[in-house]
Chain A
Amino acid sequence: MKPNRIKRWSVILIILIALVTLVSLLALCTGSAGILLKDIPHILFYGKGTSDYSILLDIRLPRIILGLSIGGALSLAGVLLQGMFKNPLVEPYTLGISGGASLGVCINIVFNFYGKIGIIAYPLSGFSGASLVIFLVYYLNNNTKDIKSNRMLLTGVMISYVASSLVMLLMAVSKTDDLQNIVLWIMGSLDEPNTILIKMALFGSLAGLAGSYFFCFDLNALLLGEDEAANLGVNTTRTKKFLFIIASFLTGLSVSVAGIIMFAGLIVPHFMRMIAGPDHRILLISSFLAGAAFLVLCDVIARVIISPLELPVGVITGIIGGVIFIWVLSRKQVTL
């Protein structure tokens, strides 16, 4: 059985890596400049200094890297949250964590923290907002016996509303410059000129992936419920605390760099669980890769669908994700 499993997991990984490569290449040759795939190697090797070269390396490549990082991070956050809460409908957006992160970032813009402590203020404020919400949602629902109840989702949605109202409040009282800043940022886009933020997103999401692997067995045990996991020797309190921190970190990072991207963390884990199975040893990495490919693909769609104009990528994920959310909800039995 064991060689069988390793074989199956390897096949899944190889397919996903191929998919990520394919989607990245597609994204590399999509855009208004009309660069063809077959010309790309020539441009990269001999075209230094040309405009095509800088379009590929300075505009498209950073955007692809950011898309891969954010897509991976959001999907991973979704897997971690779904595993912990044993609810297939939770993810950073539905639990209100993205909302909390966006409120954090808005406060940062209005009170000019980024001017005082630098660009790190963006991910930091996103992380603070995200972790605040995640603890709030957890402790408001900690006393309910039925953990699977969708009460938690409702709490999350309500927190989202409160957060977005507070964001609007901030917008109403803020100066024109800040207002423009907030609006642009809320729209959510992978078009990020700041290379430091892109590097932060890349290394941050990879660190989140590595960190979550310390808990892959604990997550497997948590599938049976918290008491059963404790009986199997898992220190559930400690594990949940660390997983909360990793999930808020990933969400805060994503939201602070790319704005709110709805449902990206919902769809991918759901399908990967069907394909790769519930074992988190394969589920974590495969969701990360699939999420990365998914978001870059959505970004390609967002760029071409009303070309030469661009849609915010969150519009595409929101439409696809929303439909799938309703589909999952309407199925009779939703089990993880």
Chain B
Amino acid sequence: MSQILFIDNLSFKYHEKTVLKNISFSTDPGEFVSIIGPNGCGKTTLIKIISKINKPEKGNIYINGKNIQTLSNKQLARHIAVVMQSSEPVSMSVEEYVLLGRLPFLKKYQFFESARDIALAHNYMALTGILKLAHAPINKISGGERQLAAIARALTQEPLLLILDEPTSHLDITHQIQILELISSLKKELSLSVLIVLHDLNLAAEYSDRLVLLNGKNGKIYKTGTCDQVLSEKSIQEVYNARVLIRKNPVSKKPCVFLVSQNALDKKENPVL
């Protein structure tokens, strides 16, 4: 299978401070890859470099075999769709908001979206379950619904690669599961490559095909691989400075991270520690 995204030896400095160093990894069609790591380790920066908002110090990024530096913003937006962490609320209808996803495809001097553009927007609104909210103002719907609208807008771009920056933060577990289930089913149906930043290690383990664990201390990738390969008590200890227990989820057989309070650690009664 051909790679959708290929990041080759990427480094990034911010005010002389190394944020990312020698980052290399790739994603395949229909693959769900999560980027995990502590706060401030450069996860969002990495996304901004892939979407050409920030410029890398060195290294190259290829999307579908093409170096992103050779693509215009518009061409890039036809390949990559990004759902950012905090979409600022604006007073437009959900439908108008989702239709903005067709902007990269409008021809020069085209003043109205085509019937196909509108059909696509409606299709993805139906798929994400927000079609009934089409005429509601986007700043009046709930956080979960807004996140679904952002995903619908991103899908309306018909991207090869869908990038999401912490799509589940500030949401209750109903919406966390709803959104990750949706993305999992989409990657299969549309053979979409998904790159997602997640804070919750258990959610990442449960839904990802592969993990990329960033190490905030030196900006390098600590480890990349399947969830079983990456999530270990040792790796969490080294990257996050946190003592955790890792057991298997009895149903999904995916690794599950247990946090342990200092109080419990101090008692040391528990033989498993």
Contact = CB atoms under 8 A, between A and B. Distances in A.
Interface of A: 1-2, 6, 86, 148, 217, 220-221, 223-225, 227-228, 230-235, 273, 277-279, 281, 335-336
Contact of A232 (B91, B100, B115, B118): B100
Nearest to A226: B53
A279 B72 CA distance: 25
Given A217-B103, A223-B90, A228-B88, 9 more contacts: A217-B106, A227-B48, A232-B100, A233-B72, A233-B73, A233-B78, A335-B89, A335-B90, A335-B139
23 contacts: A1-B95, A2-B112, A2-B113, A2-B118, A6-B112, A224-B87, A225-B84, A227-B51, A227-B53, A227-B84, A228-B82, A231-B53, A231-B77, A231-B82, A232-B100, A232-B103, A232-B104, A233-B72, A235-B72, A235-B73, A273-B91, A278-B91, A278-B92
Residue from A86, A228, A335 whose CB has the most chain B CB atoms within 10 Å: A228
Interface residues of B, number: 36
B81 interface: yes
B51 A231 contact: yes
B13 interface: no
Contacts of A223: 90, 92
Contact of B91 (A217, A220, A234, A336): A336
Interface of B: 48, 51-53, 72-78, 80-82, 84, 87-93, 95-96, 100-101, 103-104, 106, 111-113, 115, 118, 139, 157
B90 A336 contact: yes
Contacts, number: 79
B90 A278 contact: yes
Nearest to A6: B112
> Top 5 closest A-B pairs, CB basis?
A233-B77, A233-B74, A233-B104, A231-B82, A233-B73
Contacts of A235: 72-73
Nearest to B114: A2
A225 B78 CA distance: 19
Contacts of B48: 227
Contacts of A227: 48, 51, 53, 84
A86 B92 CA distance: 14
Contacts of A148: 88
Nearest to A235: B73
Contacts of B76: 233
A125 to B, nearest CB: 35
A169 to B, nearest CB: 40
A10 to B, nearest CB: 13
A86 B88 contact: yes
B100 to A, nearest CB: 6
Nearest to A234: B73
Contacts of A273: 91
A217 B48 CA distance: 22
Contacts of B93: 277
Contacts of B101: 232
B103 A233 contact: yes
A86 B139 CA distance: 15
Residue from B82, B95, B106 whose CB has the most chain A CB atoms within 10 Å: B82
Contacts of B73: 230, 233-235
Nearest to B75: A233
Contacts of A230: 51-53, 73
A295 B42 CA distance: 51
